[in-house]
Amino acid sequence: MSNRMTSQLVIDSLEYAIADRKPEVGLIFHSDRGSQYSSVEFRRSLKRNRIIQSMSGKGNCYDNAVAESFFHTLKTELVYWIKYKTRKEARSSIFEYIECFYNRRRRHSYLNYFSPSNFEFFYLKKVA
């Protein structure tokens, strides 16, 4: 979490995700048309990691519906209910919500009422 959405922030996040998840070649990275995602530096990072870039159509939030839905859920279930005193407190609270609750315990109707972690576990077990 940062004061500003910069190219370096998304590059660092991408590098962290690559190190953590070790994706196969041909991964598609979809985003909105924010300047941080269309920057030369970010595009170089995608190319270096052999990741295909996909961007929403201009002014079309529905192209990025999954991300829009996630942030709506985050805000309505957590952020709007808490008055954070500091950015550090907000960062910690949001991290805990995502990593400890949303990914591991929160059930999603779209995932047949599995949490994202459980859905991924059973999916990978099924295709192995």
Helix, strand, coil distribution of the chain in percent, nearest 5: 60, 10, 30
If we measure between CA atoms, which residue out of 80, 84, 51, 56 comes closest to residue 68?
A: 56
Give residue 9's Cα distance to chain centre: 13
pTM of the model: 0.80
1 pLDDT exceeds 80? Answer: no
What's the pLDDT tens digit per position in 29-51?
A: 999 999 999 999 999 999 999 99
Query: How far is Cα 109 from Cα 111, in angstroms, rounded to an integer?
Result: 5
Give the pair of three-digit tokens for residue 14.
């991408």
Fold of 1-55: Nucleotidyltransferase; domain 5 (3.30.420)
Instruction: Please enumerate in sequence order all residues whose Cβ is within 8 A of that of 98, keeping only pairs 6 or more positions apart, or say none.
Output: 74
Bridge partners (DSSP) of residue 52 are 28
Confidence of residue 3 (pLDDT cuts 50, 70, 90): confident
Kindly list the domain boundaries of the chain, sorted by start residue.
Answer: 1-55, 61-128
61 pLDDT exceeds 80? Answer: no
